[in-house]
Copies of this chain bind each other. A is one copy, B any other.
Amino acid sequence: MNHQTDPDAFTDLGFARLDTGRAARTGDPEVVYGEGKTTEQALELIGQLRLAHPDRPALVTRAPQEMRDAIASAYADQVTVDDRAVAVGELPIPAGTVCVVSAGTSDAPVAAEAAFTARVFGAGVTRVNDVGVAGVHRLLAARASLEAADVLIVVAGMDGALPSVVGGLTGVPLVAVPTSVGYGASFGGIAALLTMLNSCAPGVVVSNIDNGFGAGVFAARVARRANK
């Protein structure tokens, strides 16, 4: 089985069937979701991914501290560690630009996950932080960064209003990410999610609550295609 070219390849590890054919099918290898896995399982999966796809970094998302530490010490010279994720292997040369915009300081972890994922998936990344709509002049001051990107990821909790305003300022494709930041009737991010799904700015699409990873994958693909 050639894991580089066979779209139907997979590796049966007993506890998991690693989808090594995914890179041949979709252009990007499978990713390890750290939550609920043991560090040993994560290390075994990384090993298999490095074997199958030596030219692409192996990404572990939502990895607890202890797992990140173990990976970092096992792959010391080829690891990139972020707040909640780890990449093992050389990062790709960036193609295109994803700009990650966040509304408040509490949205930072989700924005960081989106940015890290987009970078590992091969895009360049810029950041615009803390430009919530209660002080919209801060956003207006950052218009040049928005326009310079191939795709935007806009992260917000509470009222989730930022993507609507950004989407009215620019036609750059925009992925909105609701976060679970807030209390009371924010209902763990439902309020922000609904706001974004109902955005009055045309062309806003949405990821799951707190899903910086998914937005990063999507945005990297758009950015790479815009810069083929």
Contact = CB atoms under 8 A, between A and B. Distances in A.
B200 A133 contact: yes
B206 A207 contact: yes
A134 B188 CA distance: 26
Interface in A93-118: 103-106, 108
Contacts of A225: 150, 173, 222, 225-226
6 contacts: A15-B129, A22-B134, A150-B225, A159-B200, A186-B208, A202-B214
Interface residues of A, number: 96
A189 B184 contact: yes
B105 A135 contact: no
A51 interface: no
Given A10-B137, A17-B129, A193-B197, 13 more contacts: A17-B131, A22-B168, A36-B181, A134-B168, A158-B200, A159-B199, A161-B165, A178-B184, A184-B189, A185-B197, A192-B198, A194-B194, A197-B209
A31 B218 contact: no
Contacts of A41: 105
Nearest to A26: B171
Nearest to A45: B105
B208 A135 contact: no
A43 to B, nearest CB: 14
Interface in A1-31: 7-8, 10, 15-17, 19, 21-22, 25-28, 30-31
B158 A161 contact: no
Given A195-B194, A228-B226, A205 B171 contact: no
